[in-house]
Amino acid sequence: MNLIRFFRGVKLLGQTTFVSEQTICELAIDCGVKIPTNCTSGTCGTCMITLLKGEIPVDEFLPPGLDLEYVEEGGRLGCIGIPNGDVDIEILPPL
């Protein structure tokens, strides 16, 4: 099982485990954490979070809601991002 932890700053907002192909936004709902969403397809960027630790792979061709600069700073889209192993997530986008 993989442990997914959600933070806002240093405060742990919630954590959950998963074994299926759930997205970050779905996992957040499972533990009572609210991540804003809009399109749920990677187009708008509303659900951007910051990956603090672990791996959430991104496709070679980035969706419209994400650019390389954000990816390099840990930016991922919660609506389409699927963790690979244990991850720590800041629910705010990279600054």
Q: What domains, with CATH codes, occur in the chain?
A: 2-90 (3.10.20.30)
Q: Which two tokens stand for residue 22?
A: 């759930």
pLDDT recorded at residue 95:
76
The rounded distance, in Å, linking the Cα atoms of 46 and 79 is: 9
pLDDT tens figures, 40-71 = 999 999 999 999 999 999 999 999 999 999 99
In percent, the amount of the chain with pLDDT more than 90 equals 93
